[in-house]
């Protein structure tokens, strides 16, 4: 359904069971589970789908091995269970990823201690994945690793994803079950019934239109912005915003066939380098974020230097520098504040699900546990939404491909079939329908064919150029300078599918280039 059609349906909606505010991973998971249960649900997002933390994560679907040291066994058990469920139901979108943990003389964790932790990790998963490598076998797998003080390393399995595409896939499946989803529609005000929240006054930024939507239940799934909406009800803040920043390097400059996790030489925090979308992702920092949440976050020079120092310590022969960085990004995590004077990394990653004056707020938590968190929220919502009595906590996260979806792609190469089934799900017929033979070529050194840009413009509610290049595709991250060299061909597709005039394109390009320079590039040296 095109955005204009979804917006018209939302304006006309009557007798809504559920209004979900927020189009990140939490909101998308809630909308899907509610629609699957048979509820009449609508979701609105103030900016673009996944434009907040859900497109700026570390791309990991993991059990949280470090939570063992904090004694958070229940959280780790939940995360491992959800990771396994995603691996089963979203192949090609959630993929297994082997980690290696090198150990060195003087490390605070011994081989025995880490091995015991990994044994418990495997026990929660129900399968042994851990293995110990001596120095020589480890260097055969990672020949560029510094050998000084190396004692060997542990290996174990986790998983990774394209976080923005995971959100979009969930939304596509929710729409196939009848949900309405509209981006660039913000909540201007919560509507009150006799005593409880009963809907919202909305503002469509594209058409500059105001309208109201009533619903039996309203869920605040706005992530790190959740306190702002709660604040309109007079509730005190509950969150501690924390910033995590990342680097992306060409795979040839930091060639890792699996993830490598190690401890930073300055403060002992875990740092990782992992293969992602044909490049190498490095992260992450963990700092209090005191800046205005309305302003897009960006990496600081100090964070960049911090991550590069860790890389140079572990991979000295590569002589990595800021010149090797393709792109950067920062996300602000919605972490529930403990109220104690803890270091950022010590705060719990548990989710918060609370009802206040009829508004259910869902925030905190992890990318991995979005589905279990959604179920908890909807179990609370079921008190006022009878349709949610059909909620199933054990259903597959995503439906298996239908015969019609398989048939739509039957004449394509197997690799492309697998990619499109994983990323687009119920929308694959639409993707196939807009495919041109000349647009099956990959863009630059990425794994993204031009067809995916055309489909995104036609069927995925693209409003701005950054919607297209930073979230529908990841070209703005994977290609230097935000894929600036490819913008002329992107312009042709955008003008054909979106009807943008030359003036509109010029406006979008200027806006996009400024955003890339400010939030996704290499920050200048600090003086």
In the chain, the domains with their CATH numbers are 3-53+164-238+348-390 (3.50.50.60), 94-160+240-342 (3.30.9.10), 434-520 (1.10.8.870)
Tokens for 443?
């863009």
Are 348 and 316 a contacting pair, CB within 8 Å? no
Q: Determine the pLDDT at residue 65.
A: 75
Are 257 and 275 a contacting pair, CB within 8 Å? yes
Tokens for 127?
């399968």
Residues in CB range of 182: below 8 A, 6 or more apart = 3, 6, 7, 10, 42, 43, 44, 45, 204, 461
Are 169 and 92 a contacting pair, CB within 8 Å? no
Of 346, 322, 43, 22, residue with least CA distance to 179 = 43
Highest mean pLDDT out of 175-179, 194-198, 341-345: 175-179
pLDDT digits (tens, 9 = 90+) for 467-506: 999 999 999 999 999 999 999 999 999 999 999 999 999 9
Which residues sit opposite 158 in a β-bridge? Answer: 97
Q: What is the mean pLDDT of residues 346-358?
A: 86
pLDDT digits (tens, 9 = 90+) for 35-78: 999 999 999 999 999 999 999 999 999 987 777 767 778 888 88
Report how far residue 234's alpha carbon sits from residue 169's, in angstroms, rounded to the nearest whole number: 35
Q: Determine the pLDDT at residue 173.
A: 96
Q: Which residue has the tokens 């913008």?
A: 487
pLDDT digits (tens, 9 = 90+) for 422-446: 999 999 999 999 999 999 999 999 9
pLDDT digits (tens, 9 = 90+) for 286-332: 999 999 999 999 999 999 999 999 999 999 999 999 999 999 999 99
Q: Determine the pLDDT at residue 527.
A: 57
Are 18 and 381 a contacting pair, CB within 8 Å? yes
Are 219 and 373 a contacting pair, CB within 8 Å? no
Instruction: Provide the 8-state DSSP code for 449.
Output: B
Give the SS3 label for residue 178. Answer: coil
Give the SS3 label for residue 123. Answer: helix
Of 106-110, 204-208, 312-316, 340-344, minimum mean pLDDT range: 340-344
Report how far residue 362's alpha carbon sits from residue 35's, in angstroms, rounded to the nearest whole number: 18
Would you place residue 340 in the very low, low, confident or very high pLDDT band (cuts 50, 70, 90)?
confident
Q: Determine the pLDDT at residue 339.
A: 79
Are 283 and 58 a contacting pair, CB within 8 Å? yes
Buried b (16+ CB within 10 A) or exposed e, 284-305: bbbbebeeebeebbbbbeebbe
Mean of the per-residue pLDDT values of the chain: 94
CA separation (Å) from 319 to 205, 254, 270, 278, 494? 47, 10, 21, 21, 40
Tokens for 466?
């950054």
Percent of the chain scoring above 70 in pLDDT:
99
Instruction: Provide the 8-state DSSP code for 443.
Output: P
Q: Say how far residue 327 (Cα) sits from the centre of its chain.
A: 17
pLDDT digits (tens, 9 = 90+) for 100-147: 999 999 888 889 988 988 998 899 889 999 999 999 999 999 999 999
Q: Which long-range contacts (CB under 8 A, 24 or more apart) does 432-440 make?
A: 432/408, 434/458, 434/459, 440/416
């Amino acid at each position: 359904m095109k955005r204009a059609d979804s917006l018209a349906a939302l304006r006309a909606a009557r007798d809504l069971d559920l209004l979900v505010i927020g189009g990140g991973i939490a909101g998308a998971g809630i909308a899907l589970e509610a629609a699957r249960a048979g509820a009449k649900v609508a979701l609105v997002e103030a900016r673009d789908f996944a434009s907040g933390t859900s497109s700026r994560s570390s791309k990991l679907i993991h059990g949280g091995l470090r939570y063992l040291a904090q004694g958070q066994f229940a959280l780790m058990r939940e995360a491992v269970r959800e990771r396994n469920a995603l691996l089963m139901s979203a192949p090609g979108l959630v993929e297994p990823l082997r980690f290696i943990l090198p150990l060195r003389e003087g490390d605070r964790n011994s081989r025995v201690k880490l091995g015991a932790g990994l044994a418990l990790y495997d026990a929660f998963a129900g399968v042994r994945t851990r293995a110990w490598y001596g120095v020589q076998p480890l260097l055969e797998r990672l020949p560029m690793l510094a050998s000084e003080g190396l004692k060997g390393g542990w290996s174990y399995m986790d998983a990774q994803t394209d976080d923005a595409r995971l959100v979009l896939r969930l939304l596509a499946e929710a729409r196939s079950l009848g949900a309405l989803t509209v981006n660039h529609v913000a909540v201007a005000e919560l509507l009150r019934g006799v005593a409880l929240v009963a809907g919202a006054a909305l503002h469509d930024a594209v058409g500059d239109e105001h309208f109201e939507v009533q619903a039996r239940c309203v869920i605040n799934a706005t992530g790190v912005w959740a306190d702002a909406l709660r604040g309109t009800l007079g509730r005190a803040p509950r969150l501690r915003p924390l910033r995590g920043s990342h680097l992306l390097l060409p795979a040839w400059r930091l060639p890792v066939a699996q993830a490598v996790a190690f401890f930073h030489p300055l403060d002992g925090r875990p740092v990782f380098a992992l293969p992602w979308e044909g490049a190498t992702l490095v992260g992450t920092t963990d700092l209090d974020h005191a800046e205005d949440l309305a302003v897009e976050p960006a990496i600081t020079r100090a964070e960049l230097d911090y991550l590069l120092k860790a890389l140079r310590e572990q991979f000295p022969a590569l002589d990595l520098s800021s010149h090797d960085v393709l792109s950067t990004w920062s996300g602000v995590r919605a972490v529930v504040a403990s109220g104690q004077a803890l270091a950022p990394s010590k705060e719990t990653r548990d989710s918060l699900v609370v009802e206040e004056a009829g508004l259910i707020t869902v925030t905190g938590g992890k990318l991995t546990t979005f589905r279990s968190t959604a179920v908890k929220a909807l179990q609370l919502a079921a008190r006022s939404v009878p349709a949610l009595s059909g909620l199933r906590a054990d259903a597959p996260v995503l439906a298996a491909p239908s015969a019609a979806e398989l048939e739509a792609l039957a004449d394509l190469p197997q690799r492309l079939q697998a990619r499109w089934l994983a990323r687009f799900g119920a929308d694959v017929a639409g993707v196939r329908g807009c495919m041109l033979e000349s647009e099956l070529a990959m863009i630059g050194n990425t794994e993204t064919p031009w067809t995916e840009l055309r489909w995104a413009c036609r069927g995925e509610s693209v409003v701005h150029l950054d919607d297209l290049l930073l979230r529908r595709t990841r070209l703005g991250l994977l290609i230097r300078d935000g894929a600036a060299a490819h913008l002329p061909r992107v312009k042709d597709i955008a003008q054909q599918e979106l009807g943008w005039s030359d003036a509109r394109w010029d406006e979008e390009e200027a806006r996009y280039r400024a955003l890339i320079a400010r939030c996704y590039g290499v920050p200048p040296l600090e003086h």
